[in-house]
Amino acid sequence: MAKQLLKLNFEFKAEQPMPIKESLHYGVVGSGDMEVIIEKKDLAGKAKFQVVTPVVGYDQVWEKVLGRFIDESNLGNISVEINDNNATPEVVSIRLRQALAELAAMKA
C-alpha cells in the first residue's frame, strides 16, 4: 500500500514548432497548485513533458491539458517539468499560460 509520487511522461509536436530563448521556472507547489520548469532542448521540434504528482488516475486529463497548451503556444524543442500538488486542470492551464507570459516578458 505504499504511496508513491507518479511520474507521467508526454510528448507533443506543434505543426510549426516555435523555440524559446531562455529557460524559466514559474509557480509554487502550494496545495492545489503546481510549478513548472521550461527548458530549451534540441528535440527535433518536439515538446516533452514530465509531470510529478501524488494524484493517481488523471493521465488522460494531463494529456489533454498539456496538448492544448502546445496547440495554443506552438512551442517546440522544449523540455517541461511540472511538480504538481492536486492542481485542477483549470489551474494547470492558467499557470502554463502565466509561465508563457513570463517567457514573453523575458524576451522583451
Partner 1 sequence: MKTWVDLQTDSFLDANARQRAIGLVDEGSFTELAGPMDRLQSPHLPLLGEAVEFDDGIVTGVGLIAKRAVFIASQEGRFIGGAVGEVHGAKMVATLKLALDSYEKMKKDNPSLPDNRGPVAVISFETGGVRLHESNAGLLAHAEVVDQIQKCRGKVPVIAVIGSKVGCFGGMGFVAAQTDVSIMSPFGRLGLTGPEVIEQEMGKDEFDSSDRSLVYRTTGGKHKYILGDANYLVEDSIGSFRQKLSEVLSLSQDEINAHRRIGSLRLVENQLNKVRLSITLKPKDSKDVWKYAGNDNPESLVDLSTSDFLSVARRLKFMAANEEV
Partner 2 sequence: METLLGQGRAAIDLIIDKDTFVENEVGTLKIEDPDFGPGAVIGTAKLNGETVTVIANDAMVCNPNFPVVYAGIIGMEEAYKMAKAVYHTIEADRGKDTLRPIVLIVDTPGNGPGKQEEIFGMNNATGSYQLALAEARLLGHPIVAIVVGRAISGAFLCHGLQADHILSLGPQFGTMIHVMPISSVARITKLDQEFLENLAKSNPVFAAGPQFFEALGGVEELIDDINSIGQVVTKHVSEVRKLKKDGQPTGPWARGILGFERGGRVMRKKVMEVMNQEFASVADKYLSA
Cell numbers linked to 86: 492536486
27 Cβ contact list (under 8 Å, min separation 6): 33, 34, 35, 36, 95, 98, 99
From 12, 17, 20, 33, residue interacting with partner 1 (rule: CB under 8 A) = 33
Q: Which of residues 2-31 bind partner 2 (CB under 8 A)?
A: 2-3
Please report how many Cα atoms fall inside a 13 Å half-sphere around the Cα of residue 91, on the Cβ side: 17
35 interacts with partner 1 by CB under 8 A: yes
The DSSP string of 4-54 is --EEEEEEEE-SSPBP-SS-EEEE---TTEEEEEEEE--STTEEEEEEEES
Beta bridge partner(s), residue 7: 52
Residue 1's binding partner, choosing from partner 2, partner 1, none, with beta-carbon cut-off 5 to 8 A by kind? Answer: partner 2
| Least separation in angstroms between CB 38 and partner 1 | 11
Stretch that binds partner 1, among 14-22, 23-31, 61-69, 70-78 (CB under 8 A): 23-31
Instruction: Give contact residues for partner 1 (rule: CB under 8 A).
Output: 2-5, 23, 25, 28-31, 33, 35, 37, 52-54, 81, 83-86, 101-102, 105-106
Instruction: Give contact residues for partner 2 (rule: CB under 8 A).
Output: 1-3
